[in-house]
Structure 1
Amino acid sequence: MIIDLPKNVENIIERLKEHGFEGFAVGGCVRDSLLKKTPTDWDITTDALPEDMKKIFKKTFDTGIAHGTVTVLMDGVGYELTTYRIDGNYSDGRHPDSVSFSKNLSEDLCRRDFTINAMAYSHNKGIVDLFDGRKDLQNGIIRAVGDAKKRFDEDALRMLRAVRFAAQLGFKIDDDTFEAIRERAKLLSKVSKERIFVELNKSLCGDFAQNIKMVYTSGLYRYIGKEFSKLDENIYDFYPRKFHNKKHMYWAAFLENIENVEAVKKILFELKSDNATKNNTYLLVKELKNPLPSSDEDIRWSLHRIGADLFCDYIEILKTDKKNKDILDKIDTIENRYSLIMKENHAYEISMLDITGKDLMDIGISKGPKIGEVLEFLLKKVIENPLNNEKSSLLRLAKEFK
């Protein structure tokens, strides 16, 4: 079988060959090509040493020189080239203590995580598949290369990556590999929370996101975080949703049925989530706990609590929730009313009021906390009735509040 390599990848492999070295596209790009998917990046493995690569190619920079990785820049795109290597012991359960370079492609492929990721390709040699990766790809199987326990001892994140590939590809995890995950689950506690967060994000976004249930059935959930480990099994009754690249929406849909809303922030804090994802997820889950808006005033109060952008996300989550299939007309009505509210520029934040703190001081309200109290009172009146958002009406209401 011939894989359509990008021109630059062909050129890199050809340049290596001209200088007496071999080069192969390797890993995920080969897997994705065989699945008729477009690879997001192309990694190349070679018997050339880093110093050889830097002599052969004009534009390079070191990205992991200790592990034999150099990035070659062509037409503004970076391509990672890594020397065939043999990894030493993994005393931290994540990184090899030492790396030795090899001239043998098979020694490089046998250290990789799963058979579907352990294939290499060049136009000259075709597909190099030493571990039946193509067969597993055809059968939809995620199987560790060689001894699964050893692979997970080397890098505990691989266990979560297995779940992630199941969630992205819809594949089944091989029985022996899954049993090894169950036995080695505790090793996940050695992995940085940032890396765990990345894998969970990719799983929640997957086309087969229902497979995130494996995080629970494998026991991995116990070692993701103290708060995460408290999640009930029903939380994992998840299914694929499409929310573009909005992480907070996937997390809100995943955690929607959590009993303690305050735990949402704790979970994402433990996972070293960015603040935007953490705060937006919390606001959405909290809003999803409220009854659906039944009036324009309810919608304005919701906008006050979460803002217009999150309100749109909130509506999208409601529309894609299977339990709402019988009330989609009601949700559409809410969305239409929201659009009208925005078109008519109804106020739902203090900054949208037709009055300022200076206006209030001009009628004798003292500067300080009192101004804030009056503005909050006026906003309440405007949310209840948008017609109140007119300067003379607001001044009259402010005088009554005094």
Structure 2
Amino acid sequence: MSTMMSDQFKIAQQVVNAIRDHGFQAYIVGGAVRDSILRRDVYDIDIATSAYPEQIQEIFKKVIPTGIDHGTVLVRYHGTSFEVTTFRTETGYSDFRRPDAVNFVTDLAEDLARRDFTMNAIAMDQSLQLIDPYQGKLDIKNKIIRTVGNAQERFLEDPLRMMRAIRFQSQLGFKLDNEALHAIHDNRKWLEKIAVERIAIEWEKTLKGPYFNEAKQNLFRVNLANHLPVISEHIYIQQALKSLTSSLPSFAAFITYMHLKVSDIAISSWTNKWKLSNQIKKDSKLLVQLIQDYTKEPLKWVLYRLPEDLIEDFSTLCLLFQNDPINKEDIVAIKKSLIIKKRRELAINGKDIISFFPDRQTGSWIQNMLLETEKAVVSEIIKNDKNDIREWLQYDN
């Protein structure tokens, strides 16, 4: 395991050893172990331990009690955060989200038994040796998504795991084993019991996955698509989703794609029913407008209005909707070459326009003329010079 010894893992080892030095068991667990086996980047490392949260608080100086009732605290160590959770078992999920009862245990095997998939039920000790009671490493090698124990029980405990299975397929390109597929099909209706915000997080991760198309096919195969907001309500939306074969960089890009395919469904309908932020609504509306303007307006004017954080979304959507798409590198180059980057860089403002036309009463025409000037400067129809702009507005426009 030495090849995957990143600085983060070295610090995690120190945390594990510090806990062990106080007489407790401690292991690296979960996605970090899975991703290290896959040689994928590891961003967060979780640690499971026989120590109780109060005992962890005595061992480390900086401990944040993020979920202490469920045995979880956040340990800050050498500038890095680690979620440390006491070994536990869980019983009852009456709200389909959190266990009705959490019982702390002292056995790692019992803790691993409560996890969703075998690839996530692998632990790593202080020497980076694997503890793998459910053959998760073999399933990773064979690229199989398999539940820990009975699939029906795992998905009933937390129906969101059905979306997680689809998401992992999109991210990793693994196949779901037949038992998992059948169990998702049998329990799909319970997804509607899950808070839509939690589903949205999994769906966005699914959209971004390099194997999105394969995962999407399973989404329809097990009829899980019929239990997703908006998607379940319209046959045309389902047809549009089936036509999407490539991944998308964000939820806003997805809504844009779907709206351009089925414009009858308002963007606000998507954001309201998925309980998304106003920023996603704003980004979606802007992306729709820019994609529609791509062949109608000067390219520099289109890209001038494109925020930096939506460049990837825009370039991806261009590939899907335009005959002559533009790539990210060209977008960045053109944006860098623009005469102005923001309206405040214009050589004039609203007061100047009023002074150019002293006989006119103030009104909305001022903002309209300012916008017209901004577009002309960006499109290099006129220079960004006060006198040139005044002459253009007074005589040529």
Give TM-score scaled by structure 2 length: 0.82
- How far apart are the structure 1 equivalents of 2:383 and 2:58? 74
Match of 2:273 among 270, 281, 301: 270
The answer to whether the Cα contact below 8 Å between 1:235 and 1:255 also exists between their aligned partners in 2 is yes
Unaligned runs of 5+ in 1: none
2:239 aligns to what?
A: 233
Using a 3 Å threshold, how does the CA distance of structure 1 residues 314 and 11 change in structure 2: closer, same or farther?
A: closer
CA 1:265–1:105: 2 relative to 1, 3 Å: same
**1:290 offset after TM fit, Å?**
5.2
Question: Contact between 2:66 and 2:72, CA under 8 Å: does it hold in 1?
Answer: yes
1:351–1:217 Cα change, 3 Å: farther
Deviations 1:159-197 (A, max 9, x none): 111111101100011111112112212222222222222
Cα gap change, 1:88/1:357 in structure 2, threshold over 3 Å: closer, same or farther?
A: same
Q: How does 1:242-391 map to 2 (within 5 A)?
A: 247=250, 250-251=253-254, 254-255=257-258, 257-260=260-263, 263-289=266-292, 292-293=295-296, 298-299=298-299, 302-303=302-303, 306-307=305-306, 309=308, 312-313=311-312, 316-317=315-316, 320-321=319-320, 327=324, 331=326, 343=337, 345=339, 354-362=347-355, 363-375=358-370, 386-387=381-382, 391=386
Conserved 8 A contact 1:167-1:203: yes
The match for 2:223 among 219, 225, 237 is: 219
Q: Is the 8 A contact 2:167 2:215 kept in 1?
A: yes
Q: Residue 182 of structure 1 is aligned with which of 185, 190, 195? A: 185
Tell me, yes or no, if the aligned pair for 1:265 and 1:282 is still in contact at 8 Å: no
Instruction: Report whether the alignment pairs 1:36 with 2:35.
Output: no
State the TM-score, normalized to the length of structure 1. Answer: 0.81
Is the partner of 1:24 in helix, strand or coil? Answer: strand
2:168 match: 165
Question: More deviation in 263-272 or 58-67?
Answer: 263-272
Counterpart residue number, 1:210: 213
| RMSD, aligned CA | 3.6
Partner of 2:55: helix, strand, or coil? helix
1:144 is aligned to: 147
Q: Partner amino acid for 2:350?
A: G
Residue type of the partner of 1:215? L
CA contact (8 A) 1:208 1:239 kept: no
Q: Tell me: CA distance 1:308–1:152, structure 2 relative to 1, closer, same or farther (3 Å).
A: closer
Q: Secondary structure at the match of 2:28?
A: strand
The 1:177/1:346 distance shift into structure 2, 3 A limit, reads same
| Structural mapping, 1:50-129, within 5 Å | 50-123=53-126, 126-129=129-132
Deviation at 1:71, TM superposition (A): 2.2
Once the two structures are superposed, residues 75-101 of structure 1 have per-residue CA deviations (whole angstroms, 9 ceiling, x without a partner) of 021212211111121001110011111
Counterparts of 1:378 and 1:58, CA distance in 2 = 59
Long gaps (5+) in structure 2: none
d(CA) in 2 for partners of 1:175, 1:393: 71
